[in-house]
Amino acid sequence: MTLAHHNASSGSPLFDSTVVVTAPAEVDMLTVHELGQRLAEAMLLACRGGTVVLDLSPVCFLGTCGLELLSTLRDWPCRVLLVASTRAVLRPLRLTCLDRSLPVLADLGAALAAAARPAPSPVRGWRPLRAASSRPRAWRAGSTRPRGR
């Protein structure tokens, strides 16, 4: 399990930095605690506008405690990107819908390129598809015309 720090060419070490954490081959009860500590160190390094990239490409087993750890990454104050290309990782991410809330990229190069770009803006609040005045009128039971005509 490794921790690497990459500075952006335009920023200082405390700003615009990318921290890469490489996961072990098996993320289970024995290794999840150390991985969580590495991720916490990475978050502290990238806390001001930086990005944490979790490289899951060497993972061949992802246990439920690993999925629980990944679910906590959604609430982090910094941007988090996942690198995954194996079925052992992609399938649990899809089944738990974590791939919808955390960006998953195919390789480390793509993740570092995405980390160099500005983060996308968050989605604004939900809007209805049509205005309230265009709702269909209620029908009476047994009637063939709308009520109110």
pLDDT tens track for 66-107: 999 999 998 888 889 999 999 999 999 999 999 999 999 999
Report CA Rg, the chain.
22
CA 66 to chain centre: 14
Q: Measure the CA–CA gap between 42 and 69, rounded to whole angstroms.
A: 14
Tell me, what's the pLDDT at 141? 58
Average pLDDT of the chain is: 79
Q: What is the DSSP string of 52-97?
A: EEEE-TT-SEE-HHHHHHHHHGGG-SSEEEEE--SHHHHHHHHHTT
Whether 52 contacts 80, CB under 8 Å: yes
pLDDT in tens, 1-41: 656 655 444 333 444 588 999 999 999 999 999 999 999 99
